[in-house]
Amino acid sequence: MLKFEESARIIAAESQYVSGGVNSNFRLGMSPGPLVFTHGEGAYLHDVDGNKLIDYYCGMGAMVLGHTPPGVQAAVKSQVDKGILFAGQAPIEYEAARIICERIPSAERLRFGSSGSEVAQAAMRVSRAATGRQTIVKFEGHYHGWFDNVLWSTAPALADAGPADAPVLVAGSKGQARADGDGLDVLQWNDLAAVEARLARGDVAAIMMEAAMCNQGAIAPMPGYLEGVQAACRKHGTILIFDEVITGFRLGASGAQGRFNVTPDLSIFAKAIANGFPVAAIVGRADLMDMFSTGGVLHGGTFNSQPVAMAAMVATQQGLTPEHYERTSVYGVRLRDGIRDILAQAGIKAQVTGFELMFHVAFGLDAPARNYRDLTKADKAGYSRFSQALLQHGVRVLERGAWFVSSEHNDAVVDKTLEAVRAAAKDVAPSLAT
Ligand SMILES: Cc1ncc(COP(=O)(O)O)c(C=O)c1O
């Protein structure tokens, strides 16, 4: 049995200074408790109890090149020697911008920020300014950051969420005012008719969506869905925003928009863009992006395009070669399909869905989920027991079912992981209803 007692001791002691011992609520509720790490190494994390864990959190999706990529480390060290923050421009940020504009189909121009939550705000603001309309449509189960005006219906209890064909907004946190949701409307995702009907009312500034739903589940858009939404947006003068904070640089070098060949008006990126450094980007049509410089739309941020983070970004992007995607996808697919086979052999009913470098495991579903409401039928408690069993076998996965793969999850790491999956499946299978 692996022990996590030193982590527990530190979290309890440091809760005196840091609320709950953690600096994000998303690090709070995990079993056996939040862990404290001493260092990372490729695909591994080392914790204060001396455990060496294969890590599939990958910094919540950010560490696409693993925990210690030499190119990124060297670029950061070299930039630190040149200075940290200029409150002015540096050549490195233009190099970074050129790379993104060349890679991302929708990126005619961009602005950098520091987190996905922030650039989601910028996207909503510029959409409202450009259209003169107030309403932003989002989708149940999609997450666009933790701010008051958009943290709605991210993981609502169905009892509160209204009927599937007319969902109602549900706040994601105590402390949000009802009025914070006034500029928002919510729909079921992957339902084109619902979008067409809503946009026909002519008052929607923007539709914002994860183009593949990955914050909950790992669900591809139905064939024709993205194209249909884009056509409806064009018809009704609505701006289409893709939130690629997870899918960017994971579903391929050009994100979900390149993979599914649908180019939105605006998109936002963060996480894997700079392999763990706080970089985000809003990119899009030149006429919309120029509203920040000449159209009276404010976008600010002391840390925007911070040169050290920009150096990390450029080095990360240089690592994201076609060869990286080819090689890492082979590992990811071997892992994903291996998990599916092992769970089936163990008699555990599960859906393993998603992509090469990001997939999702849901217990208890008869068919792959198409939207948030399908996902709510999964056996979350059963999967949580499985994730705890995996941790006991040295593999750290998110309890919500997501797996993030990096270039460091090579064949040897996948072999070890599948061994652990086999052992964990054996541990929990007797307790799962089939
Ligand atoms: C799809 C999506 N959008 C936006 C965000 C917010 O990004 P950040 O945590 O960098 O503010 C997240 C974070 O998990 C995300 O998954």
- Tens-digit pLDDT profile for residues 370-389: 999 999 999 999 999 999 99
Q: What is the mean pLDDT of the chain?
A: 97
Contact 405/356 with Cβ under 8 angstroms? Answer: yes
CB of residue 243 inside a 6 A radius of ligand 1: yes
Q: How far is CA 38 from the centre of its chain?
A: 24
User: Which atom number of ligand 1 is nearest to the Cα of residue 60?
Assistant: 14
Q: What are 341's two structure tokens?
A: 């086979």
**Which of 133, 335, 152 is CA-nearest to residue 238?**
133
> E-strand spans in 102-174?
109-113, 135-139
Q: Whose C-alpha lies nearest to ligand 1, atom 3?
A: 144
Q: How confident is the model at residue 1 (pLDDT cuts 50, 70, 90)?
A: confident
Alpha-carbon separation of residue 148 from 101, 170, 209, 246 (angstroms): 30, 12, 17, 21
Pocket flag, ligand 1, residue 215 (CB < 6 Å)? yes
Determine the Cα–Cα distance for residues 384 and 389; give it in Å rounded to an integer.
9
Strand pairing category for 52-55 and 395-396: parallel
Residues 6+ apart with CB under 8 A from 412: none
Q: What is the mean pLDDT of residues 339-345?
A: 98
The predicted-structure confidence for 65-75, as pLDDT tens digits, reads as follows 999 999 999 99
Nearest protein Cα to ligand 1, atom 1: 245
pLDDT tens digits, one per residue of 386-431: 999 999 999 999 999 999 999 999 999 999 999 999 999 999 999 9
- Which of 387, 379, 396 has the alpha carbon at shortest distance from 432? 379
Is the distance from the beta carbon of residue 145 to the nearest atom of ligand 1 less than 6 Å?
yes
Known catalytic residue at 77: no
DSSP 220: P
The DSSP annotation for 52-84 comes to EEEESSHHHHT-TT-S--HHHHHHHHHHHHH-S
243-283: pLDDT as tens digits: 999 999 999 999 999 999 999 999 999 999 999 999 999 99
Quickly state the pLDDT bin for 77 (edges 50, 70, 90).
Answer: very high
317/274 Cα distance (integer angstroms): 7
Q: How far is the CA of 273 from the centre of ligand 1 (A)?
A: 12
What residues form DSSP beta bridges with 404? 358
| Two structure tokens written together for 116 | 């996905």
pLDDT of 40 strictly over 70: yes
E-strand stretches of 48-167? 52-55, 109-113, 135-139
DSSP string, 314-341: HHHHHH--HHHHHHHHHHHHHHHHHHHH
Domains and CATH numbers, the chain: 5-64+322-431 (3.90.1150.10), 70-319 (3.40.640.10)
Q: Is 270 touching ligand 1 by the criterion CB < 6 Å? A: yes
Cα 189 to averaged position of ligand 1 atoms, centre (Å): 18
Residue 196: phi and psi, rounded to 5, are -60, -40
Catalytic residue (one of 44, 56, 143, 225): 143
pLDDT band for position 30 (cuts 50, 70, 90): confident
Give pLDDT tens digits for 116-129. 999 999 999 999 99
Q: What is the pLDDT of residue 29?
A: 80
Compute the residue count for the chain: 434
As a whole number, mean pLDDT of residues 39-59 equals 98
Q: Ligand 1: does its nearest atom lie under 6 Å from the Cβ of 246?
A: yes
Average pLDDT over residues 11-39: 94
Is the pLDDT at 346 greater than 70? The verdict is yes
Question: Based on C-alpha coordinates, what's the Rg of the chain?
Answer: 21
What is the atom index within ligand 1 of the atom nearest the CA of 145? 6
How far is the C-alpha of 61 from the C-alpha of 44, rounded, in Å?
A: 14
Active site residue 49: no
Q: Extract the tokens encoding 370.
A: 């198409």
In our burial notation (b when 16+ CB lie closer than 10 A, e otherwise), range 234-250 reads: eebebbbbbbbbbbbbb
**Residue 312 banded pLDDT, cuts 50, 70, 90:** very high
pLDDT tens-digit readout, 161-194: 999 999 999 999 999 999 999 999 999 999 999 9
Per-residue buried b or exposed e for 276-301, using 16+ beta carbons within 10 Å of the residue's own CB = bbbbbbbbbbeebbebbeeeebebeb
216: CA distance to ligand 1 center in Å?
Answer: 12
Q: From residue 142, how far is each of 29, 155, 385 by CA, in Å? A: 20, 8, 25
> Ligand 1 test: best mutation among 26, 118, 246, 273, most atoms within 8 Å of CB?
246
Q: What is the DSSP letter of 252?
A: -
Ligand 1 contact, 210 CB (< 6 A): yes
On the question of pLDDT at 434 being above 70, the answer is no
Q: Whose CA is nearest to atom 8 of ligand 1?
A: 116
**Ligand 1 near 385 CB (within 6 A):** no
Beta bridge partners of 109: 284
Grade residue 433 by pLDDT with cuts at 50, 70 and 90: low
- Pocket lining: 144 vs ligand 1, CB cutoff 6 Å: yes
- 391: CA distance to ligand 1 center in Å? 25
Q: Is 271 tagged catalytic?
A: yes
Cis peptide before 264 (omega within 30 of 0): no
Q: Give mean pLDDT, residues 355-360.
A: 98
Q: Would you say 396 and 45 are in contact if contact means Cβ atoms under 8 Å apart?
A: yes
